[in-house]
């Protein structure tokens, strides 16, 4: 699937996030203080907490349920915790944001959710 337009940079608060609803579940879009934008499946690798509700610092988000730190660049849990959530590419063109959801991934996760 090609890039999908999801909104403008200014729609996301600095050090905050917004959620994009997709057929395969919520995807959290984060923006840090340097206006870098990241996208993660909104499911914590620990107990599925909504990462979009966490506190954002530089390159990590802290899950609101039990304080795991997740690296927003790759979805990897920071040590000492272990686990990973899916991450996605976001492309910004003149402050318009596009989310890259590979087709095959979509199929797989949709299946998983359906199952």
Partner 1 sequence: MKEKLVMIGNGMAGVRAIEELLKLAPEKYEITIFGSEPHANYNRILLSPVLTGEMALEDIMLNDVDWYKDNDINLQLNKKIVKIDRRGRKVMDEGGEETAYDRLLIATGSNPFIIPIPGHELEGVIAYRDIADVDYMLDTANEYKNAVVIGGGLLGLEAANGLKERGMNVTVVHLLDTLMERQLDASSGALLQSSLEDRGLSFKMTAQTAAIVGDKRVEKIQFADGSELATDLVVMAVGIRPNVELAEKAGIHSERGIVVNDTMQTYDPRIYAVGECLQHRGETYGLVAPLFEQAKVCANHLAELGHARYEGSVTSTKLKVTGIDLFSAGDFTGDESTEDIVFQDPNVGVYKKVVLKDNKILGAVLYGNTVDGAWYFDLMRNGTDVSDFRESLLFGQAHIGDAGHGETNAAAALPNTAEVCGCNGVIKGDIVNAIREKGLFTLDDVRAHTKASSSCGSCTGLVEQILASVVGDFSETPKKKAMCKCTDFTHDEVRKAIVANSIKSIPDVMQQMEWKTVNGCASCRPALNYYLVCAWPGEWDDYQSRFINERAHANIQKDGTYSVIPRMWGGVTNPTELRAIADVADKYSIPTMKVTGGQRIDLLGVKKEDLPKVWGDLSRAGFVSGHAYAKGLRTVKTCVGKEWCRFGTQDSTTMGIDLEKMAWGSWTPHKFKIAVSGCPRNCAEATIKDFGVVAVDSGWELHVGGNGGIKVRATDFLCKVTSEDEVIEYCAAFMQFYREDAHYLERTAPWIERVGLSHVKEHIVDDEPGRKALAKRFLDSQKHMQDDPWKQRAEGVHEGEFQPLTEIA
101 binds partner 1 (CB under 8 A): yes
Question: Which among ligand FES, partner 1, none contacts residue 26 (Cβ within 5 to 8 A by kind)?
Answer: partner 1
Q: How far apart are CA 17 and CA 29, in angstroms?
A: 5
The site that binds ligand FES (CB under 6 A) totals a number of residues, namely 10
Among 29, 39, 44, 72, binds ligand FES (CB under 6 A): 44
Residue 11 dihedral angles phi and psi, to the nearest 5°: -70, -20
Q: What is the H or E stretch that residue 104 is in?
A: helix 103-114
Nearer residue to partner 1 within complex by CB, 49 or 75: 49
Q: Which of 60, 15, 11 is nearest to 34 (CA)?
A: 15
Residue window 18-57: x/- pattern of binding to partner 1, with contact defined by CB under 8 A: xxxxxx--x--x--xx-------------x-xx--xxxxx
Alpha helices in the chain (DSSP H): 103-114
């Amino acid at each position: 699937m090609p890039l999908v337009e999801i909104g403008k940079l200014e729609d996301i608060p600095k050090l905050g996030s917004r959620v994009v609803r997709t057929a395969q579940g919520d995807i959290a879009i984060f923006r840090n203080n340097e206006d870098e934008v990241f996208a993660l499946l909104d499911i914590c690798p620990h107990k599925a907490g909504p990462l979009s509700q966490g506190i954002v610092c530089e390159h990590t988000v802290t899950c609101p349920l039990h304080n795991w730190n997740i690296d927003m660049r790759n979805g990897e849990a920071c040590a000492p915790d272990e686990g990973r959530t899916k991450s996605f590419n976001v492309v910004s063109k003149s402050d318009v944001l596009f989310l890259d959801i590979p087709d095959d991934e979509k199929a797989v996760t949709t299946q998983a959710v359906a199952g």
